[in-house]
């Protein structure tokens, strides 16, 4: 990357918590792992907390609350940080669509399991 930028990376844990059949939370946070040491050519960014709270409104609409506490570490010009944050907001829509597909698939599987007379 051109000066003053340097490639960033994260090592993340995540967990999906289904609050009800309709609302779910996808929580993500930084961690360390011996298989993924910091490399000299990168800066290890840190995610204190990043969460998506997704609730369907209709079959085709969802309410998404996105919370992020991220430290990109190092020195980055404000203009570039702002651009990154704007793009990150666009990813929320993609994540929401993916997550709702997964949630609907899981609910359907559970309904089918319940209907087997177990």
Taking only the tens place, the pLDDT of each residue in 27-75 is 999 999 999 999 998 999 999 999 988 888 887 778 888 888 988 888 8
Instruction: Read off the pLDDT of residues 81-90 as tens digits, 9 standing for 90 and up.
Output: 777 777 776 7
d(CA 65, CA 20): 16
* Domains of the chain with CATH codes: 7-114 (3.30.530.20)
102 to each of 22, 35, 58, 94, how far by Cα in Å? Answer: 12, 29, 16, 13
19 has pLDDT over 80: no
């Amino acid at each position: 990357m051109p000066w003053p930028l340097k490639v960033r990376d994260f090592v993340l844990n995540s967990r999906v918590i289904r609050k009800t059949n309709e609302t779910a939370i996808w929580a993500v946070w930084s961690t360390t792992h011996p298989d993924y040491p910091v490399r000299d050519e990168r800066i290890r960014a840190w995610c204190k907390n990043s969460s998506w709270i997704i609730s369907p409104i209709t079959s085709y609409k969802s309410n998404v609350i996105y919370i992020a506490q991220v430290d990109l570490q190092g020195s980055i010009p404000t203009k570039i940080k702002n651009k990154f944050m704007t793009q990150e907001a666009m990813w929320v829509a993609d994540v929401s669509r993916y997550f709702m597909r997964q949630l609907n698939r899981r609910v359907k599987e559970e309904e089918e399991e319940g209907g087997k007379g177990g």
